[in-house]
Structure 1
Amino acid sequence: MIFVVAILARRLSGATFPAQSRSWRIIKGVGLALAFLLTLGGTELALLPLLILLFYGLWRGAYVIKLGQGSKRFLLGGVAMLFTLFAVANYLASLSNYSGVASRESSAVGGVRTIATAEASFRADSRLDVNKNGVPEYGSLEQLHQAGLLEDRHVAPSPGSPYRYTVVLAGDPARDEKEFFVYATPSHYGRESAAWSGVPGASLARGLRPAPPFATRTFASDETGVIRQADLGGSRAVTREEARKWPPLQ
């Protein structure tokens, strides 16, 4: 849309840009086309091409103001420049919305892995032996925290934390010597609304409006160290037997 707005502003203003050589026009056209195609990927790789498009839109708007006819050139050039800034800001907001979900899930996976590692260390250090048979047991979240193996955020997440962690033990020392189960569930299950995804400025509006840290996948692990994941359609308690049927995290 930046190209369309810039071209319309030029034509409506009657601006005549300085003549350019044919080779330069080809190079510029290919460069802008590549920049546009790279932005379609919707990833951080598009940041440099985005800067190129930003420069193009602002440069075109400035030339419309400088070379256009009559007072309308100020309005048309200003519109072209403001639209360019708006489009770039909206694109950056869309990247932020996408990477937010990915970072929340990545953090949850890291949390589950940290707790599983803490359980292994807790048992290896023989910190708990309820039945006094010389075989140590795994510990609860609170016990792992008291042993200095976990941070506060794993045991008592803040209100804005996207995930909450749970460790399940059998309560039977004979079983707790052999197994534990940990899982992370979304604090706010859900997805970003797609109702306005095709509307210009929708990503920017979502970025400016405070929203809960939505997530969809639940992650789980046990003494094997394998992390599994599933979208349960909500946030709820999970059993060890259920989680074993989930696909492992790739």
Structure 2
Amino acid sequence: MKRIAVLLLLFVSQFTFAQDKVAVFDMDGTLISEEPAYAMAIFAKEYGQNQIETVNDLVNELKALTKNPRYDKMLKSFMKTDPIKVYPQMMDVVDSLKAEGYKLVICTGSEVRFAEAVNKKYFNNKFDVVIGSEFRAEKLKPTNSSINDKEGKIDNLKSNGITPTIVYGNSHGDFPMMKWVGNGVLVIHDDKASGEYDKPEQYIKECNELGFKTIKISDWNLSENPSWKTK
């Protein structure tokens, strides 16, 4: 098994673990690339019937797609094109936490069945629970938003009986989870050569103020910092 970076082990080891150790991961931009667009958005544009220019357009298209009886077949066809880039460095983190006995959870804004398909194809079902946005009317709870984001992520984790030990995310949409738990790690993709998005400096500043950690995917490639390298 690949070895997690020493620094990441220190992030986790400073805490006294309960019997159930739970690591919660955002998906887009944390475990998989969101460049040139979110995988869910690429899927919606490929299989949807309408032009998508705004977030509302995307949500409406996803609502329509999830009602389609061929939705699962669409997912399989989409996944066969191998459209998703996984961060191997983050898989090292996942594997190491799994070996430490953590329960692993995906908590993402992507549609839940889409996220489950990603977990199966790209993560070999390493995640024990997948929580995502729900667009099927019969599945929605009156008190919850269909979009799994920000405070909605906390609500959905609580409704599943999950209290994280540590949270990994990449944006302000994950900050409420981090603040709730008090143990967050912000994943930053700042490698311009790879085409990844730059993350605003205020994210790092806010994490420092809140006592959260920040890690850069590109740091794994720095020869002057071998502790970030994997075997």
Instruction: Tell me the TM-score normalised to structure 2 length.
Output: 0.27
Write 1 or 2 for the structure with the bigger share of helix.
1
Write 1 or 2 for the structure with the bigger share of strand.
2
